[in-house]
Structure 1
Amino acid sequence: MTALVIPYPARSAAETARALRTDVSNGLSGAEVSERLARDGPNTLAKAAPASALKILLHQFQSLMVALLIAAGGVALALGERVEAGAILVVILLNAAIGFVTEWKAAAALDGLRKQAVSLARVVRDGRDHQVETADLVAGDVVLLSEGDRVHADGRVVEQARLQVDEAALTGESLPVAKSADPVLDTGAALGDRTSMVHRSTAVTAGRGRFIVTATGPRTEIGRIGTLIAGVAAHGTPLEAKLAELSRALLVIVLALCLVIILVGWLRGNALLYMVEVGISLAVAAVPEGLLAVTTMTLAIGMQRMARMNALVRRLPAVESLGSTTVICTDKTGTLTRNEMTVRAYDVAAGRYEVTGAGYAAAGEFTRDGNAVDIGHDEPLGLALRIGALCNDARVDRSGEVATALGDPTEAALIVAAEKAELELADLARAYPRIAEIPFDSDTKLMVTVHATPEGTHVAYVKGAPAEVLKASVLVLGAGGTASSSQTDRARIEAANEALGSSALRVLGLAHRVLPDGFVEADLTRDLTFVGLVGSTDPLRDGVKATIATCRAAGIRTVMITGDQEATAAEIARQLDLDVGPDGTAFKTVHSRDLAGLDDAGWLAVVADAAVFARVSPEHKLRIVDALQRRGNVVAMTGDGVNDAPALRKADIGIAMGIRGTEVAKDAADMVITDDDFATIVGAVEQGRVIVSNILRFIHYLFSCNLAEIVTMFAAVMIGWPMPLGVMQILWLNLVTDIFPAMALALEPSDPDVMARPPRDPEQPLMTPAFAWLIVWQGLLLAGCTLAAFAVGMEWYGVGEEGLRHAVTIAFMTLAMTQVVHAFSARSRRRSAFTANLFTNAWLWGATAACIGLQLAAVYVPLLRQVLHTVPLTMADWGVVGLGALTPFVVIELVKFGQAWVRPAG
């Protein structure tokens, strides 16, 4: 085995850097290398820290609704209404506390996922090995690598022995890349083709080596991608934008109503101070104090539900974005696939054998034409399995709960295939001990190991690129034994290779040679006997095809964006039905070369009918997401690699993988799938839709109830009646009957057909004309019943001080009970309350009981009677209250019943 040579055995980091300026080249001139080293400093690429507590807290106060509440509280305080001002302050602090705690917990939980950061590196300084903090690496350091290490910086490989690096996190390629000390002189070489360079955040899967650091921090490839991320501006979610728009409209309405009522009342001869107080009460009634609290709670509850489903949301308002998602852009490696190579087929003399099972679990069987086969009676297949297992430097680690590959995933898959045939690697190694080897070479594309046999001879086992193995073979192991390789044999092998390759399998050729006595190295790669082919694949995740079908039924388009080859990506898309739209439209596969030089119009056109983008760069991903967004889509982007991070930040919601995902990807994402299961996204999308529906439910409830309060007060003033509600009674209604039922509506379970409906139009405002009309007529109905009850109270008890207090209590209780009952109607705009779902929301029944209990306390507890200015009610009074509360419910349900005749319930 070749010994490693330390190229700079006794030099300091500074001396090494000076040597590097003339000795290292990767397509750069000496001057360019010098400039790069001179300007590059210590590694400054740091993971994004969670939002600080102060930042989260301040975020909770950045709301138009909160500003209105503060203003209303200030006016109330100026008028001496300290109790009212204090109550408003409590609501503000409660809302801020809820948002702070939930977002802080989300940020803290995300810290638990930061498991892939490497803090120490082995370097050679002053001729000795040292362990240093990764952040302390500088350009010119000599860093040692061994199997399983993370690469800590970008650098030039100077020595290597079978060094292979998994660059999937950076390039999207699922197979490890063999590294070489030979310079790559092509200055335009793609990142994946720079075989003489290693890059930060990649992982060593096999071999060992040394490299000299050429870049740290922002000068690394990850740092360059980080610059792209920093250039993508943060954005709000669709719900945030729509609530802000709704808040602005509400502010205009509130100010207009207050000015009108103050002006009209003053012109009618009322005292100005009295009318100012009336205006304040209308402002308090118009501002739905419960909106922010319930919105925050709805999002927090949705976040908790998603967390139980292994979807961790980093930013609270981002929970709802999935509900409006129209396109999911997903990486392939590790997202749609398991990132675990699995042998699927062997093609040997007797024909093609299929191999069942997936991943690194030794569970599966060999079949031919659908029938199980006995491996012990098939010598060619047994020989192929033995070659694959012994011409191999990987191993499978089963010490944990899940088996993992140590080394090349393809080689690990060959070991697992042998285990499925009950061939144990340890037994094979004892029977055929390795005595020599030729490591895999990217030029010859072959790997050779030499073994002693039980018969006392020596045999060379060879695996590699099928064309190269076939070229070195003069014999073929056929059904009748070994024979000279004929043109017919070669044509059959080439056809089998093409057939396996077209099935998206990575194909290796297998061969052997019984060596002569006194063999030399040249004997190991000539006069071989071709044994067969083995095809392996990175298997699809369990259930991913069904997940994509569910998304399609929900009107969500899935687009695969990968760094893989076009043919492989297209085949994966075919297997997943990604290339077919819901209406049968054929989507196409686009190679990165087709994206070169596209203008804005070209990008808009290409994303319209593409199912797959292959061999793309991080810049391409950004442009794809941007073009989809400019076509009016709400885009979710899933990914796990550093190369996904800019697109994750750009997307409306970025979804990172928690186990295999890099720190950069997690920090750029809005949500982390902690089990790396693409199917988890289905549940997240459903919860996103449920959240949007529940937000609309409590907006419907809050706005119709608050409109009823406004109309009740406004109509009474315009008619010339006394005020039917006191200011504290209005605030009580907003705090009690608004918040509790609205919070219960936020816990409404999912509708059975929630994933059978198309996404909500991202351009559609929350308050559509139809929705606004629904709120208006139902609010007027509630107000009408309240005013009628108030009129009855004035008729029964008069308008003197005590009589008016009795009438106001009747109106207060009528409006409160009307709102409580109205919550059941607000569960659905079209579906009747009297369905099988009537008892599915236990929280709503609990909120109803709580509201009734508090309303009874408001008229029967002396302290509350004093604060709210109420009186105990008689049985006749309760009859008026009950009739007023039930009338709107009956009318609304009759309207739903009529609508059911012309359109389906929903």
Structure 2
Amino acid sequence: MIKRSTDHNMDPPQSMNWHSLTHAEVRQALHAEMDGLTDAEVKQRIVRYGPNRLTPPKRRGTLLRLLMQFHNILLYVMLGAAVITAFLGHWVDTGVLLVAVVINVVIGFIQEGKAEAALDAIRAMLSPHATVIRNGSRREIEAAELVPGDIVALASGDRVPADLRLISVKELRVEEAALTGESLPSEKSTETVSADAPLGDRYGMAYSGTLVVYGQAIGMVVATGGTTELGKINQMLTGIQSLSTPLLRQIDRFGRVLALAIIGMSAATFVLGTLWRDHTPAEMFMMVVALAASAIPEGLPAIMTVTLALGVQRMARRNAIIRHLPAVETLGSVTVICSDKTGTLTRNEMTVQRILCAGHVFDVGGTGYVPLGDFSIDGRIIDPDHYTALSMAIRSGVLCNDARLREEDGMWRVEGDPTEGALLVAGGKAGFSQHAGDTAWHRIDSIPFESQHRFMATHHRDGDGESWIFVKGAPERILDMCSSQLNHTGEHPLDVDYWRRMATDTAAQGLRLLALACKRAAPVDGQLAFSDVEGGYMLLALVGIIDPPREEAIHAVSECHHAGIRVKMITGDHAETARAIGAQLAIGVGKPTITGAEIAMMDDAVLRRVAMEVDVFARASPEHKLRLVQALQDDGQVVAMTGDGVNDAPALKCADVGVAMGMKGTEAAKEAADMVLADDNFATIATAVREGRAVYDNLKKFILFMLPTNGGEAMVVIVAILFELTLPLTPAQVLWINMVTSSTLGLALAFEPAEHGIMSRRPRPPGEALLSGFFVWRVLMVSVLMMTGALGLFLWELSDGTSVNTARTMAVNAVVVAEMFYLVNSRYILAPVTNWEGVTGNRYVLLAIAACLPLQIAYTHAPVMQGIFDSTSLSPLEWGRVLGAGLLVFCGAELEKFVIRRTRLASHLVSA
């Protein structure tokens, strides 16, 4: 017997590869025995290792979190605008701006609190209780009291309370999808595996937070709290800093540049006006304040929020639930999508795709659990009843089966093992249902599947009273039980080499294999026993089963490729299965498949190169997924990551856009994600990317609308000061223009539908500046057109002897009408709007213009407004001239679009 030890200097449990050690080695390393620890040993170890719970991370206090929400350039701009409008006595504007600031702060505060809930969701997965053996007796304790060396008993329905090295197992199956991504429960044993075996292949281990779905076991605790696999994931989550989105980074840079430009313009205007043109400092100060107020894009945060919120609503109608508002736009800039396989790219419904009989290979049509599909040979549809071996194999798969196939409300679902469900669906396609099996082929007895025997057997009696024994299981096990095979001419001696070759070729294509066999015989003692299944069977078929890709996912992957987005599959499944599914989805075709073990051997530089070159990654652990996402981001990619398990949570949080599954996803995954797919469908991601691109387009359109309008107003005043002209606009009139156009016109662009061909573009470069050279040109051009129209009209009227107030009224209206026309121009950045769709395609544009017109009419003709702004009524002829100034901007903008389109077309033809 190994001597117990109370040495506090023993090696920490987390330093061991427990899955590679024998039971004796584990007991020796932990100084423990099968009769359990003593109370004294437990006390010592609880001091050494701490309680079996995940340590909550250090968090900022509530007040600090709230104050940090104000640290945003957009909010600084809005607060600056609020101070200026308050100084000028425009209290309504001030109130609106402050409310917008408060709303943005509250939204950010709430979202940060939700992100922290991901860690809480992981801690909630720990089992609250555990059954242990201590001092030689069994007792139930709080799971937090477990220590390394404790002996824990597991039973069906238990959540594993700590990481355990299994010592004895009885038909134990553990649902580990949350950690490994495996779609089927893992069958456990007590055998050792190699030290570098991936987590999904460590059959002698049971991990904290996973669920026992069948059987019983005894295990020794080898890791608790933060040293468990679940704890390591929790630590990874704690160490990941949330990334800013491309849009927020762009807006931040844009805001800084714009703020400097506004300050510089205002200072230069003040100096020129006072020192060069001898305007009074008071007059120039008021004008500079008005100019600054007009130039500050106080409408941008509101428009951005509205645009993103509208995108959220549209995505929600398409089963994409956005949890973090800026993620809407980030989706539009995604360059790489890393997707889980099971249930996202595939249906998560095991399906028989191929049945291999002696002499024939049959393809099975149809996907999922709907029992509809054809049987074919080389594309030629056949009747299964005309092929004896096929018909008998289908019957065997249905009868030797414990699952149930049910239809409820038009939906087919399987109760029981998904692989057995696939056999039932294949039987339904051939017309042999479970119901027929229960009546004409009554089951008398059975031997359930056991991992050490690797087969299931059932005893039936047919309609003639003949006894049959059917078996199904692992091909190599069933081959050992068979002495003959059935083909279209009858029973023949078994050709072992043929079946092994077929099994190898089919497994290499990623299909899970089952062998089916039978013999016409009755149990020797009346009850089915292992002695009845030792030999003498006739092999019927090998069945190839796979979780097939979704049809819509195939189309969505193609659409993403067309849009210049790389799609990568990162799964915990086996490499052969991942490669086969990838080929059907056109992911990674002609490229190698990399496993998690290979990733672990790569340094960061090598992984960065491999991450871009390879598209299919298999047997990936949480650390591997996280490293892959970080490697892609280090290469400058904008990464969307999908996942459903706890193992996916670190990568989801690290990615630019984390996408969790809503139907089968864990709470930890959902809380770590920015978006949740209500239908667990990859096609929904492609739809969301399209919507994200439309959102970004609309934000660009708003900025291209806002800056020239503000620039036009500023240039009118600056030119007048430079050339010592009468000011065409007073400070109050500048603020009126700004208020009317910002509150009515610009908002309409948030409702702009996606342009045609939006998914034919390449993703925009992640580092692309919001103010590109083209943007600067467009802003300057339209600003000059607006200035020319308004200032030219003002000077023309003065030269005709019109009063200054009337000329100013016409200048104000010229600017506003020009903005109305330019709003229509702004619907498309380059496409023409000189058609019915261009004019009427967005009804909100027409509504915005309709709302703005009465305000301008009131400004011009209402006595109250005339008293406030010194405006005067205009004649129809004068209104006509105002309209002409607006048309100047419209025609100039459309002409510029035409020239750019022709230039780009000519350049494309030359390069082609």
TM-score by length of 2: 0.86
Distance apart, 1:47 and its partner CA = 13
**Contact 1:56–1:100 (CA under 8 A) maintained in structure 2:** no
Q: In the alignment, is residue 897 of structure 1 matched against residue 907 of structure 2?
A: no
**Matching residue within 456, 459, 467 for 1:447:** 456
Partner in structure 1 of residue 172 of structure 2: 163
C-alpha separation in 2, matches of 1:135 and 1:701: 60
Following superposition, the deviation at residue 310 of structure 1 comes to: 0.8
* Alignment CA distance shift 1:873-1:596 (3 Å): same
- Provide the residue aligned with 2:545 in structure 1: 536
Is 1:837 the counterpart of 2:838 in the alignment? Answer: yes
Aligned to 2:274: 266
User: For residue 790 of structure 2, what is the amino acid of its counterpart?
Assistant: T
Match of 2:807 in 1: 807
Alignment of 1:725-764 (within 5 A): 725-764=729-768
Name the SS for the 1:679 alignment partner.
helix
Number of residue pairs aligned between Structure 1 and Structure 2? 866
Q: What secondary structure sits across from 2:602 in the alignment?
A: coil
- Deviation sequence 1:74-101 (CA, Å, 0-9, x none): 3554x5x32x244133123136437857
Q: In the alignment, which residue of structure 1 is the partner of 2:240?
A: 232
Shift of 1:261: 1.6
Question: What is the match of residue 884 of structure 1?
Answer: 885
Match of 1:437 in 2: 447
Counterparts of 2:694 and 2:557 in 1: how far apart (Å)?
19
Equivalent positions of 1:77-476 (< 5 A) are 77=86, 79=87, 81-82=88-89, 84-94=90-100, 96-97=102-103, 124=131, 145-146=155-156, 154-155=163-164, 157=166, 160-180=169-189, 182=190, 184=192, 188-204=196-212, 206-207=214-215, 218-267=226-275, 268-349=277-358, 351-376=360-385, 378-399=387-408, 402-429=411-438, 431-437=441-447, 439-442=449-452, 444-451=453-460, 459-476=468-485
Q: Deviations over 1:764-802 (max 9, x none)?
A: 11111122111112112111211122223434566xxxx
Q: Give the alignment's Cα RMSD to 1 decimal.
A: 3.8
Shift of 1:159: 6.2
More divergent stretch after superposition (132-141 vs 888-897): 132-141
1:41 Cα deviation from its structure 2 partner: 2.6
Query: Displacement, 1:282?
Result: 1.4
Alignment of 1:747-826 (within 5 A): 747-796=751-800, 803-826=803-826
Partners in 2 of 1:214 and 1:885 — Cα distance? Answer: 77
Q: 1:764 to 1:305 in 2, by over 3 A?
A: same
1:482 aligns with 2:491: yes
Aligned to 2:38: none
Q: Which residue of 2 aligns with 1:606?
A: 610
| Counterpart Cα distance in 2 of 1:726 and 1:29 | 89
Is the counterpart of residue 628 in structure 1 residue 632 in structure 2? yes
- Give the C-alpha shift of residue 382 in structure 1: 3.4
**Structure-2 separation of matches of 1:172 and 1:365:** 31
- Which of 643, 655, 660 does residue 647 from structure 2 map onto? 643
Partner Cα separation in structure 1 for residue 491 and residue 432 of structure 2: 23
Distance, in Å, in 1 between the alignment partners of 2:543 and 2:319 is 36
Q: 1:671 to 1:28 in 2, by over 3 A?
A: farther
Mark the CA change 1:555 to 1:159 in structure 2 (over 3 Å): closer, same or farther. Answer: same
Q: Secondary structure at the match of 1:607?
A: helix
Deviation at 1:617, TM superposition (A): 2.2
**What amino acid maps onto 2:497 in structure 1?**
A
> What is the alpha-carbon distance in structure 1 between the residues aligned to residue 397 and residue 683 of structure 2?
33
Q: 1:861 to 1:128 in 2, by over 3 A?
A: farther
Specify the alignment match of 2:4 in structure 1. none
Q: Does the 8 A contact of 2:155 with 2:214 survive in 1?
A: no
1:448-499 deviation per Cα after TM superposition (whole angstroms, max 9, x unaligned): 34456666675443222212211222222233333333xxx22222233234
Q: Report the CA distance between 1:828 and its aligned residue.
A: 2.5
- Native 8 Å contact 1:639 1:648 kept in 2: yes
SS at structure 1 position matched to 2:682: coil
Q: CA deviation at 1:151?
A: 5.3
**CA distance in 2 between partners of 1:753 and 1:631 (Å):** 27
Distance 1:550 1:461, change over 3 A: same
Aligned residue type for 2:537:
L
Cα drift, residue 319 of structure 1:
0.8
Give how far 1:136 is off. Answer: 10
Note if contact 2:78-2:101 (Cα within 8 Å) is conserved in structure 1: no
Question: What residue ranges of structure 2 are gaps of 5+ in the alignment?
Answer: 1-20, 33-41
- Mapped to 1, the partners of 2:166 and 2:843 lie a distance apart of 64
After superposition, the Cα gap between the structure-2 partners of 1:415 and 1:482, relative to the gap in structure 1 and judged at 3 Å, is same
**How has the CA–CA distance of structure 1 residues 631 and 417 changed in structure 2, closer, same or farther, with 3 Å as cutoff?**
same
Query: Would the alpha carbon gap of residues 351 and 824 (structure 1) be closer, same or farther in structure 2, given more than 3 Å must change?
Result: same
For 2:270, give the aligned amino acid.
I
Q: Give the conservation status (yes or no) of the 8 Å contact 1:156–1:197.
A: yes
Distance 1:69 1:689, change over 3 A: closer
Q: Which moved more, 1:60-69 or 1:465-474?
A: 60-69
CA separation of 1:183 and 1:600: change in aligned 2, threshold 3 A? closer
Indicate conservation of the 8 Å contact 1:205/1:406, yes or no.
no
Query: Deviation at 1:254?
Result: 1.0
Give the whole-Å Cα distance in 1 for the aligned partners of 2:502 and 2:432.
25
CA contact (8 A) 2:481 2:533 kept: no
The 2-side partners of 1:52 and 1:813 are apart by 51
The answer to whether the aligner puts 1:517 opposite 2:524 as a matched pair is yes
- Amino acid across the alignment from 1:294: I
Secondary structure (helix, strand or coil) at the match of 2:612 reads coil
Query: Deviation at 1:305?
Result: 0.9
Structure 1 527/54 Cα, relative in aligned 2: closer, same or farther at 3 Å? Answer: farther
1:504 aligned residue: 510
Match of 1:665 among 658, 669, 673: 669
Kept in 2: contact 1:103–1:314 (CA 8 A):
no
Contact kept, 8 Å, 1:745 with 1:827, in 2: the verdict is: yes
Check whether the contact 2:699–2:750 (CA below 8 A) recurs between aligned residues. yes
Tell me which amino acid in the other structure corresponds to 1:690.
A
Q: Distance in 2 between matches of 1:237 and 1:434?
A: 63
Structural mapping, 1:841-852, within 5 Å: 841-852=842-853
Q: 1:279 and 1:32 mapped to 2: Cα distance?
A: 80
Higher alpha-carbon deviation: 818-827 or 114-123: 114-123
- The verdict on how the C-alpha distance between 1:645 and 1:735 changes in structure 2, with shifts beyond 3 A counting, is same
- Unaligned stretches of 5+ residues in structure 1: 1-21, 581-585
SS in 2 for 1:422: coil
- Alpha carbons of 1:376 and 1:471: their partners in 2 closer, same or farther (altered >3 Å)? same
Distance 1:129 1:795, change over 3 A: farther
Q: Residue type matched to 2:881 in 1?
A: V
Contact 1:298–1:747 (CA under 8 A) maintained in structure 2: yes
Per-residue deviation, 1:675: 0.6
* Structure 1 residues 452 and 162, CA gap change in structure 2 (3 angstroms): farther
**Is the contact between residue 552 and residue 683 of structure 2 (CA under 8 Å) also seen in structure 1?**
yes
1:680-705 alpha-carbon deviations (Å, 9 max, x no partner): 11111111111111111111010011
Structure 2 vs 1, CA of residues 188 and 464 (structure 1 numbering), >3 Å: closer, same or farther?
A: same
Checking the alignment, whether the CA contact within 8 Å between 1:36 and 1:215 is kept in structure 2 is no
Aligned-pair identity (%)? 35
